[in-house]
Amino acid sequence: MCANVFGVLKSLFGKPFDGGKRMDHGGPQQQQPHPHPHPMEAQQQPYHPQHPAMMRLYEVQKEVASLGPQVCTFSGLQHDRDYKRLERELTRLQLEVDQVDTEGKPELQGARKRAAQEVEGLLRYLEENASHPSRVAIEELSNEARRLVDEKVVAPQRAGGVAEINDELVDALQELVLKLTQVKTEGRVPLRKARYRALTRLCAVQDVIEGRTQQQTLSLPLSGDTHEAVHRINQVMVKVSVARSQLVALLMGLSGRDSCAHLSRILTEMQVELDALDVSGNAAVRNYRKQVVEEINGLLKHLDLEGEGDDTRRYDLAQNNSIREIEAVRAHVSHLREGVLRHCLMGDLTFRPKAELQSLLMHLDQVDTAKNPCIREARRRAVVEVQAVITFLDLREALARRYPGPTEHPSHRAVWMVLGSLSDLQAQVLGFDGKRADKSYMMLEELLTKQLLMLDAVDPQGDETTKMARKQAVKFAQNILSYLDMKTDEWEY
């Protein structure tokens, strides 16, 4: 849809507006009519580039080309001011196109029809994204986060009390972050943008709140008698506490009066005030001031979120360098996985790229997630994919080395029989590339569940080795089920 907007001139009118002239490499040349036009040429000849109707449609096209990119990147809701403005402008253009008098000429009628379709398409795209179920889900999660932060942090501090920042609050915020990362965007730019904006603000609030988790109230580490500057620093610390609450309110849209620019000025003034203090003669006071300055800098770094998300490389994570690294690792893992399965199918156990897989895990560990939950989840999934191949190789090797003795406990032998079946099923899971609705998925899920039931039926009869083996086998089966579930949950970054 968006790509069509930028090619709107061609798509609307089929021919460039050249004022009756053709631009060739040799410069403008007058079009000379053929003295004896071909019958087909005679039918195509009527073209009215300077007709008032066509000129008006070209003017509409220019406005559509201007509004198109705004529509394609609008990430708000239907009650937003920008939505109403875009809707109003497009509706006006729609009416103007309808009022163009084509005088019954087919070429003009075709151009008007294409113009009307383009404007109608933009209107539909605007409405679909603003009312999309995923956009509604993003807003509902954002509202839930606002209510939580308002109740636990902002309201108590506005009432003159102290916010109770505990593990329960931190866990609730983390759960909302995870839910946001799971919202499907179908690759739509407005939905990606809306999800990214909601995530960045909630993650910023997490960062601010978690920085105070261990310290419920401001500590004053130095007595006012230590140095004359300490009293001033303590006063700034109290202001920093107030500013922290204001920042959280701003990030969550709970502040009607303050602005990021206003709060930035206040924090900058605090820095200037601290810089003006003479603490050169006391190392302890100097370190204390340094800690307060770092607190202020930690708040300032979150005040540049006004324009956050306007850069495509941020909300479209397919362009993110860390995601590209992760995808490169996944492609490598996929290649190695295919090789492992191919060799196992032939009964060849000599192909063991375990060292290479371990190096990929180390590479993933070094990928910078920038505290972005989507990148973090993408990395986690890539790690699971690598580990799935490694555990498959380990079990295959263990099965190949196994030489049960005559004194082996029957229950222990039963566990190993299940492990053999699980190894075959894991090979199918590693090679599975389908959806949850597929029959092959349901069959694999059922067979894996049966193996778990078989393990539950094994009676260790007091044998500690069997108990340990069964416990590991159960965990192994559950990991295969989780991996199968992960492969088919249609997660996206």
Across 330-341, average pLDDT: 95
- Give dist(CA 466, CA 410) in Å, integer: 9
Structure tokens at 207: 């960062």
User: Chain-wide mean pLDDT for the chain?
Assistant: 82
Distance CA 199, CA 208 (A): 14
Tens of pLDDT, residues 368-394: 887 778 888 899 999 999 999 999 999
- Could you give the C-alpha distances from 414 to 2, 55, 192, 267, 391, in angstroms and in order? 60, 83, 50, 68, 20
Widest CA span in the chain: 106
Instruction: Return d(Cα 230, Cα 111) in angstroms, integer.
Output: 75
Q: Tell me the three-class secondary structure of the chain, residue by residue.
A: CHHHHHCHHHHHHCCCCCCCEEEECCEEEECCCCCCCCHHHHHHCCCCCCCHHHHHHHHHHHHHHHHHHHHHHCCCCCCCHHHHHHHHHHHHHHHHHHCCCCCCCHHHHHHHHHHHHHHHHHHHHHHHHHCCHHHHHHHHHHHHHHHHHHHHHHHHHHCCCCCCCCHHHHHHHHHHHHHHHCCCCCCCHHHHHHHHHHHHHHHHHHHHHHCCCCCCCCCCCCCCCCCHHHHHHHHHHHHHHHHHHHHHHHHCCCCCCCCHHHHHHHHHHHHHHHHCCCCCCCHHHHHHHHHHHHHHHHHHCCCCCCCCCCCHHHHCHHHCHHHHHHHHHHHHHHHHHHHHHHHHHCCCCCCCCHHHHHHHHHHHHCCCCCCCHHHHHHHHHHHHHHHHHHHHHHHHHHHHHCCCCCCCCHHHHHHHHHHHHHHHHHHHHHHCCCCCCCHHHHHHHHHHHHHHHHHHHCCCCCCHHHHHHHHHHHHHHHHHHHHHHHHCCCCCC
pLDDT value of residue 197: 86
pLDDT in tens, 18-56: 333 333 333 334 444 444 444 434 444 455 677 888 889
Mean pLDDT of 417-446: 94
Residue 228: pLDDT over 60 = yes
pLDDT of residue 45: 44
Which band of pLDDT confidence, cut at 50, 70 and 90, is reported for residue 219? very low
The pLDDT tens digits for 233-256 are 888 888 888 888 888 888 888 876
Give me the residue label for tokens 């490598």. Answer: 332
- In terms of Cβ atoms closer than 10 Å to its own Cβ (0-12, 13-18, 19+), residue 391 is middle
Selected residue with higher pLDDT from 311 and 446: 446
Q: What is the pLDDT of residue 282?
A: 77
Q: What angle do CA 151, 153, 159 make, to 5 degrees?
A: 80
The residue that leads in pLDDT, 163 or 276, is 276
Amino acid identity of 429? Answer: V
What is the tens place of the pLDDT at every residue in 165-179? 778 888 898 889 888
Which pLDDT does position 28 carry in this prediction? 39
- 75-108 confidence digits (pLDDT tens): 999 999 999 999 999 999 999 999 999 888 888 8
Interval 275-285: pLDDT, tens: 888 877 778 88
Q: What confidence tens digit (pLDDT) does each residue in 52-80 have? A: 888 899 999 899 999 999 998 899 999 99
pLDDT at 407: 84
- Render pLDDT for 390-413 as a digit per residue (tens, 0 to 9): 999 999 999 988 888 888 889 999
Q: What is the pTM of this model?
A: 0.64
Q: What is the C-alpha to C-alpha distance for residues 321 and 195, in angstroms, rounded to an integer?
A: 19
Task: Specify the pLDDT at position 313.
Answer: 56
What average pLDDT does range 5-19 have in this prediction? 41
The per-residue pLDDT for 63 is 92
Contact 237, 292 (CB under 8 A): yes
Confidence check: pLDDT of 290 > 90: no
Residue 165 to residues 203, 247, 336, 366, 492: CA-CA distances in angstroms?
A: 16, 15, 46, 31, 32
